[in-house]
């Protein structure tokens, strides 16, 4: 296998987690054993712990993409254009793809090398891909049922031939710590008696303006783009493309960059009007800058990007529910530690957009650093134990109360409710909704029941979809009393069960079935040892790539004190009865 030798050597083979693949990944993608890269600085470009190293045939990629039909021409599952994408485990996943622009057509004409696409798995309808292609190369995210997101991204911006394929979970959050500074405390409690679908299954296209201050643009520069303007615009398009992947399939919300967004890509730090490195100052400054250049009537939501002079990345929305509101709809900003936008940074920006669309934080931890900072915890929506794990949580930033590292790429049921309410009937209802023809899925959580304390149980939903879409189910506890974390069996209130990735199975075991069989107690799935009520909501998703729809239903489990637990002692472990 041929090796590439350049001047400043960086041998990826020496890093843990990488092994040579013996077989070629088709003609488009080629597995390579090792790579030596000129000018690589690991402190500036963090790597995942494990990854697959690949070479891309750019010419063949461009030919493949040229056959992709427009979004309006065909349903994604019926597109004749096929594309193979390499997964971290050595497999290739085939997708039907179509164009899915993140830019207004007038903006796209100014940047003809930048394009966006979406796709659905040929053999697995649960799997979706959202990716962009530009002078920066291929940048994509794969979402699938019950598994962590996959990213395929360039290693460095000067090299569009070589890529990594990796699971987002393999990015160590300590390499690129993230922080949100929104003031969420004291917000009113949502209606917990809510039943029925969040939203109305209609598509809403929000006009998005994204500014890049001069420092962000300069950091995006390359030999081929010395001003950094084209690269900064391509990076913004990468970001919006993968964010759309989540907002479209979860909420039927699509973000479209405004026609003259290029005017917000600044190159002069002395005149751009931003206090680079200070997300709070930039968020406040962004309102007047975007209003002055784009015009208040020409956009619905805006965000500014800068460079963090310190470690990691930090974002803020100066308010909860600002989209569509004149005078505050541009008050969001993120300063990044890496302008290439690692998955964690993109999720942070997705999180900040969530605030701008009306969603609060969902974590329940109140004592650990960062989570306990003033204004961060919102008791009314604190339904996730510890740090939480969904988009509006603080996963990876709550010290010993971290449920996991990176956030999962879906919204908690309470976030779906908040955002849907905001964009359909609240202050964020400025876009005209477009009927999609997508029928709402339906779900029933079943009836309430009681069990002895400390007894494992199972919840089963019943779902249906008139369109035959690939449904996934997510059971989540809906109790928000603030408690000590990790949760204890003695907790008479509050969240004791974490949310789990949506799966095709309508059944969830509490705690998870392997733990029940092994007789272990998962840290974030704790059976109550006292009498109490456990409220649950099940969300069914139809996973339509461009405009997904959900339905929700509630039920309650009561644990009865003084009796139990119900225990099965035989068989145990590897015991066999016959």
What are the beta bridge partners of residue 334? 305, 315
371 or 464, which is more confident?
464
Distance CA(437)–CA(146), nearest Å, equals 27
Class of domain 437-560: mainly beta
- Angle of helix 229-251 relative to helix 413-424, nearest 10 degrees, comes to 100
What are the beta bridge partners of residue 140? 131, 152
- Angle of helix 229-251 relative to helix 343-356, nearest 10 degrees, comes to 60
pLDDT score of 373 more than 90: no
Mean pLDDT of 108-125: 97
pTM of the model: 0.92
The closest of 302, 312, 329, 303 to 277, measured between CA atoms, is 312
Class of domain 198-342: alpha beta
What are the beta bridge partners of residue 36? 11
Q: Which residue has the tokens 């967004």?
A: 261
The closest of 357, 371, 272 to 321, measured between CA atoms, is 357
Contacts of 150 (CB under 8 A, 6+ apart): 87, 88, 141, 142, 144, 165, 166, 167, 168
Which pLDDT score, from 0 to 100, does residue 38 have?
61
76 token code pair = 């994604």
Residues 138 and 146 sit within 8 Å (Cβ to Cβ): no
Which pLDDT score, from 0 to 100, does residue 157 have?
81
Residue 70's pLDDT band (boundaries 50, 70, 90)? very high
The closest of 37, 31, 28 to 52, measured between CA atoms, is 31
486 token code pair = 């990790």
268 C-beta neighbours (distance < 10 Å), count: 10
Q: Domain ranges in the chain?
A: 12-170, 198-342, 437-560
Distance CA(236)–CA(246), nearest Å, equals 16
Residue 10's pLDDT band (boundaries 50, 70, 90)? very low
SS3 assignment, position 567 = coil
**What are the tens digits of pLDDT across the range 233-278?**
999 999 999 999 999 999 999 999 999 999 999 999 999 999 999 9
**What are the tens digits of pLDDT across the range 481-513?**
999 999 999 999 999 999 999 999 999 999 999
């Amino acid at each position: 296998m041929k090796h590439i030798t350049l001047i400043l050597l960086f041998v990826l083979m020496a890093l843990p987690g990488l092994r040579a693949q013996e077989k070629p990944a088709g003609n488009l993608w080629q597995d390579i054993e090792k790579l030596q890269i000129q000018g690589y600085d690991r402190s500036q470009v963090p790597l995942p712990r494990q990854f697959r190293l690949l070479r891309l045939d750019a010419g063949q990629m461009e030919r493949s993409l040229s056959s992709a039909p427009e979004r309006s021409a065909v349903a994604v599952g019926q597109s004749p254009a096929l594309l193979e994408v390499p997964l971290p485990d050595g497999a290739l996943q085939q997708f039907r793809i179509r164009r899915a622009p993140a830019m207004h057509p007038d903006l796209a004409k100014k940047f003809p090398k930048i394009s966006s696409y979406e796709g659905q798995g040929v053999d697995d309808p649960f799997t979706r891909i959202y990716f962009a292609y530009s002078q920066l190369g291929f940048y994509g995210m794969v979402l699938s049922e019950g598994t962590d997101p996959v990213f395929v991204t360039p290693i460095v911006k000067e090299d569009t031939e070589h890529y990594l394929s990796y699971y987002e979970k393999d990015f160590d959050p300590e390499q690129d710590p993230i922080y949100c500074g929104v003031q969420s405390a004291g917000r009113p409690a949502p209606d917990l008696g809510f039943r029925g679908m969040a939203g109305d299954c209609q598509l809403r296209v929000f006009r998005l303006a994204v500014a890049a201050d001069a420092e962000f643009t300069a950091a995006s520069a390359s030999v081929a783009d010395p001003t950094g303007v084209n690269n900064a615009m391509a990076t913004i398009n990468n970001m919006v493309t993968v964010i759309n992947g989540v907002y479209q399939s979860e909420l039927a919300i699509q973000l479209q960059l405004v026609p003259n967004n290029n005017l917000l890509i600044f190159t002069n730090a002395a005149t751009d009007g931003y206090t680079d490195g200070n997300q709070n100052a930039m968020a406040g400054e962004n309102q007047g800058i975007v209003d002055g250049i784009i015009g208040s009537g020409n956009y619905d939501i805006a965000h500014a990007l800068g460079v963090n002079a310190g470690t990691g990345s930090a974002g803020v929305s100066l308010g909860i529910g600002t989209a569509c509101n004149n005078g505050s709809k541009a008050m969001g900003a993120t300063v990044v530690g890496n302008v290439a936008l690692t998955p964690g940074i993109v999720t942070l920006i997705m999180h900040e957009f969530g605030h701008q669309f009306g969603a609060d934080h969902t974590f329940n931890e109140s004592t650990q650093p960062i989570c306990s900072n003033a204004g961060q915890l919102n008791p009314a929506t604190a339904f996730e134990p510890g740090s939480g794990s969904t988009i509006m949580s603080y996963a990876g930033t709550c010290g010993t109360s971290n449920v996991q590292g990176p956030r999962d790429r879906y919204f908690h049921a309470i976030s779906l409710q908040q955002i849907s309410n905001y964009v359909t009937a609240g202050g964020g209802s400025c876009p005209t909704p477009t009927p999609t023809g997508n029928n709402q899925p339906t779900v029933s959580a079943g009836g309430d029941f009681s069990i002895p304390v400390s007894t494992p149980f199972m919840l089963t939903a019943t779902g249906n979809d008139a369109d035959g879409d690939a449904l996934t189910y997510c059971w989540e506890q809906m109790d928000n009393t603030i408690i000590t974390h990790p949760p204890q069996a003695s907790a008479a209130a509050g969240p004791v069960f974490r949310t789990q990735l949506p799966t095709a199975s309508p059944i969830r075991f509490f705690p998870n079935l392997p733990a029940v069989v092994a007789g272990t107690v998962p840290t974030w799935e704790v059976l109550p040892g006292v009498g109490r009520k456990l409220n649950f909501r099940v969300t069914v998703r139809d996973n339509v790539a461009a405009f997904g729809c959900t339905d929700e239903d509630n039920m309650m489990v009561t644990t009865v004190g003084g009796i139990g637990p119900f225990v099965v002692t035989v068989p145990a472990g590897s015991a066999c009865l016959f």
